[in-house]
C-alpha cells in the first residue's frame, strides 16, 4: 500500500514565481513526497505525491493560473485498475 496515493501534476503560470518559495511552502505545509517544482518566473511545473491533492491545487491557484492539471490515483494503478 502506498503512503501517498495521488500523483499530482500541474503548471502554474504567473508573474514573479519563485520555484524555491513554492517548493518550501509545499514541503512545510502539505504532506507528501517526491516533490518537483521547476521553472522560471512565469511558469512552474509541479509534480507531487500526496493524499490531499486539493491542497496543492488550492495553493498553486493562489499564485497564478493553473492548467494541465493531472491527478492520478497511483493506488488504483498499483492494483491494475485505471487511475
CATH code (residue 17): 3.30.70
pLDDT of residue 77: 82
Q: Quick one: which H or E segment has residue 54?
A: helix 53-61
Q: Is residue 1 part of a domain?
A: no
Q: Is the pTM of the predicted complex or chain greater than 0.85?
A: yes
Close Cβ partners of 5 (under 8 Å, ≥ 6 residues apart): 49, 51, 73, 74, 75
* DSSP at 48: E
Count how many domains the chain has: 1
Collapse the DSSP code of 39 into the 3-class scheme (helix H, G, I; strand E, B; otherwise coil) and give the result.
strand
Please tell me the least confidently modeled range out of 1-5, 17-21, 57-61, 63-67.
1-5
Range of the domain at 32: 6-78
Q: Is the pLDDT of residue 82 over 90?
A: no
Q: Is residue 83 part of a domain?
A: no
Q: Is residue 18 part of a domain?
A: yes
User: How many Cα atoms occupy the beta-carbon half-sphere of 59 within 13 Å?
Assistant: 19
pLDDT of residue 22: 98
CA distance linking residue 61 with residue 66, whole number of Å: 6
Q: Is residue 51 part of a domain?
A: yes
Q: Is residue 49 part of a domain?
A: yes
Amino acid at each position: 500500500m502506498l503512503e501517498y496515493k495521488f500523483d499530482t501534476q500541474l503548471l502554474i503560470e504567473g508573474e514573479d514565481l519563485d520555484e524555491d518559495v513554492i517548493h518550501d511552502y509545499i514541503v512545510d505545509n502539505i504532506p507528501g513526497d517526491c516533490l518537483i517544482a521547476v521553472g522560471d518566473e512565469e511558469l512552474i511545473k509541479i509534480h507531487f505525491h500526496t493524499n490531499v491533492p486539493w491542497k496543492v491545487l488550492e495553493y498553486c491557484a493562489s499564485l497564478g493560473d493553473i492548467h494541465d492539471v493531472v491527478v492520478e490515483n497511483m493506488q488504483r494503478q498499483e492494483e491494475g485498475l485505471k487511475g
